[in-house]
Structure 1
Amino acid sequence: MPRLALIAGLALVASFAGSAQTGGPPQGDWQSFSGTLTATGRRDTLPQEDGGVAATMRLTGSLVITAGAGLRRGFRVEAIGFEESQGNGIGRAVWTDDEGDRIYSRMVGSPVEAGRRSAATITGGTGRYAGVAGSYTFTWQYVLPGEQGVVQARAVSLSGRYRRESPR
């Protein structure tokens, strides 16, 4: 019986993955999307002369698209960033779907803390996302520090828009 349940579960997952749109985003039309992000990673800090800290952060996790057309429903996310105590933060992220196609973005905003909002610019992609451009924002719902710089985080209110630009 457990084997039958496993097979049924795998079939359900396969049908969900297959139900996501198979073609790339439409060309030229703006498409809205929203989702949530959950990630874990590492934050390393360095003390600064003003009593604050400078920090690097590397996070990996999952992005689930909850609304919008033209995007796969799930992505593996990798992000790396730098922030300083004056409230400046920058970073880069890459979203990789289940077929290996990627969306790249550049992030700016305040330090990674609960309740803080960040913005990102979608700078390009590969495969089905080649030529994609756009932007998104999100709010950190929680950022939980752990031992030895380990961090767990969740972003909510992730929303944005994108389009695939026509070839030049």
Structure 2
Amino acid sequence: MNLLPGQQAVIFQVSGSMMLSGKQRLNRAFQSEAMGFSDTTTGLQGRSVWTDEHGDKVFSELSGEGFGPSQLIEGKFTGGTGRYTGISGEYSFKWQRLGAIEGDELAGRVVGLQGSARLGSPNVNSPTAAGGSR
């Protein structure tokens, strides 16, 4: 939605596969879904759910300057189900658009994913991008 000159507001919903690398990753792969609101005045607010192959989920809050290309988005883990119950930690990434917007469809991927998570046990895990998309 175009607002005042140079101001826009966007509601977004994205989903896709996410691959993690690193020796202490949470899991090898997740199906990821995120939705939220972004405007050029107040920034981005959203929520994300990562689901593993067993159906266990990781929940997080998203915030940042916006949903535009190369803008930093930060996530804070807020909980989970199954083996991720009690998870805490933070992560960050940038969104990279792939191709033109066609109608309501936007293709893109996450780049530079980094952060750390603490499960209910004392293990510390570090999600690191491996070319996955979201």
TM-score tier by shorter-chain length is: 0.7 to 0.9
Which has the larger share of helix?
1
Structure 1 segment 1-168 matched on structure 2, within 5 A: 46-69=1-24, 71-86=26-41, 88-142=43-97, 144-165=99-120
Give the alignment's Cα RMSD to 1 decimal. Answer: 1.7
Structure 1 residues 74-106: Cα deviation after superposition (integer angstroms, max 9, x where no partner): 000010010112251110000000000000000
Aligned partner of residue 147 in structure 1, secondary structure: coil
Identity of aligned residues (%): 34
Distance 2:51 2:107 in 1: 20
List 4+ stretches of structure 1 deviating above 3 A.
none
Q: CA deviation at 1:72?
A: 1.6
Contact 1:112–1:143 (8 Å) recurs in 2: no
Distance 2:93 2:11 in 1: 19
Contact 2:97–2:106 (8 Å) recurs in 1: no
Which blocks of at least 5 consecutive residues in structure 1 are unaligned?
1-45
Distance 1:143 1:91 in 2: 21
Contact 2:58–2:81 (8 Å) recurs in 1: yes
Contact 2:91–2:115 (8 Å) recurs in 1: yes
Q: CA deviation at 1:158?
A: 0.2
- The change in CA–CA distance for 1:111 and 1:70 in structure 2 (over 3 A counts) is closer
Q: CA deviation at 1:66?
A: 1.2
Distance 1:145 1:71 in 2: 33
